[in-house]
Amino acid sequence: MSKTALLFAGQGAQVVGMGKDLAEKFPGAKAWFDRANAALGYDLASVCFNGPEADLTKTENAQPGIFLVSWVCFELLKEQVPNLKFDATAGLSLGEFTALTAAGAMSFEDGLRVVRQRGKFMQEACDVTQGGMAAIIGLDEALTREACAEAGVVLANLNCPGQLVISGEAEKIARACEIAKAKGAKRALPLTVAGAYHSPLMASAQPKLQAELEKVTLNTTNVPVISNVNARPHGVPSRITSQLVEQVCASVRWEESMRVLLSQGFTRFIELGPGTALSGFMKRIDKTAPLLNIADAASLEATANALSG
């Protein structure tokens, strides 16, 4: 019996034009973009479709924008494949909110509004800290943790074998990159980001996010949703809140999350939202895992055909 997991894109996947062809081709998609604009009180759809890139890249727009486009991909998949059955969801950082919403933990409007506020709170934390991030390529986790400890930064994302992301004060990140290279990293690349996500420098966003989540009605999920914080399924609604708050500063344990699903017999993974980063990670975690994705009209058609075939 095949088991399907839906994977939802995280921040960094944004690209000007995302969702535009879906809204033009599918009335159902346009309705979701209109609904999002109404919920937020500004034209997020136009930022997604037309940019400018500087506006779309702002955390407070990128996070709800990726959530929205990923959600539209999810809704169109259900429309195109009415008998679609999925058995778990997961999402990278911001994508965890989309994964939870798709699994019934909160309403679309609540999810979108919380993600918009989360982006705003994280941007505020970035503005008052001098933070940065870097990708460490080709160094194992133990040696990367050593480099982090020596430089005074943290491991932010454990994405897949050979690709880890570190986070912390900008000057310490530069030092950590030097140490990582000395320990054998193939590359240590500073990332173009607003600040030090998934590090203690984001702590000021946590109480604000907690207050926003407490305004939302959270439900028990109707399928397991893997938490970034511990790579295990979310539990009761109160625990969902605490883990989403914790996640702002905690490491994203993505590789471990995918290995949990693989160990449970999941045999199909569908990435939803802009880009194909999660599919790329999965190819390095298990190159035999069947992958599909939906980011635009062409990939929607291809995935619908594969599932209906």
Please give the single-letter amino acid code of residue 63. Q
Tell me the average pLDDT across 215-234: 97
Percent of the chain with pLDDT over 70: 100
Percent of the chain with pLDDT over 90: 97
Whether 2 is catalytic is no
> 258-294 b/e with 16+ CB inside 10 Å = b?
bebbbeeebebbbbbbbbbbbbebbeebeeebebbbb
Whether 93 is catalytic is yes
Q: Give the pLDDT score at 282.
A: 98
Residues 278-289: tens digit of each pLDDT: 999 999 999 999
Q: Bridge-partner residues for 7, per DSSP? A: 90, 271
Residues 135-179: tens digit of each pLDDT: 999 999 999 999 999 999 999 999 999 999 999 999 999 999 999
CA angle 16, 20, 24 (to 5 degrees): 165
Which tokens hold the place of 174?
A: 């530069």
Q: Give the pLDDT score at 192.
A: 83
CB 147 within 8 A of CB 243: no
**pLDDT bracket for residue 51 (50, 70, 90):** very high
Tell me the average pLDDT across 126-133: 94
Backbone angles phi, psi at 219, to 5 degrees: -115, 160
* Average pLDDT value over all residues in the chain: 96
Q: What is the set of domains in the chain, with CATH numbers?
A: 4-127+204-308 (3.40.366.10), 131-190 (3.30.70.250)
Q: Which of 2, 46, 70, 93 is catalytic?
A: 93
Count of beta carbons in the 10 Å neighbourhood of residue 62: 24
Rounded to whole angstroms, the Cα distance separating 92 from 87 reads 18
Q: Give the pLDDT score at 143.
A: 97
CB 219 within 8 A of CB 237: yes
Question: Three-class SS of residue 289?
Answer: coil
Residues 83-117: tens digit of each pLDDT: 999 999 999 999 999 999 999 999 999 999 999 99
Tell me the average pLDDT across 263-284: 97
Structure pTM? Answer: 0.97
Q: Which of 198, 199, 227, 257 is catalytic?
A: 198
Tell me the average pLDDT across 106-129: 97
In this predicted structure, the answer to whether residue 309 has a pLDDT above a threshold of 80 is no
**pLDDT bracket for residue 28 (50, 70, 90):** very high
Rounded to whole angstroms, the Cα distance separating 45 from 277 reads 22
Q: Give the pLDDT score at 2.
A: 87
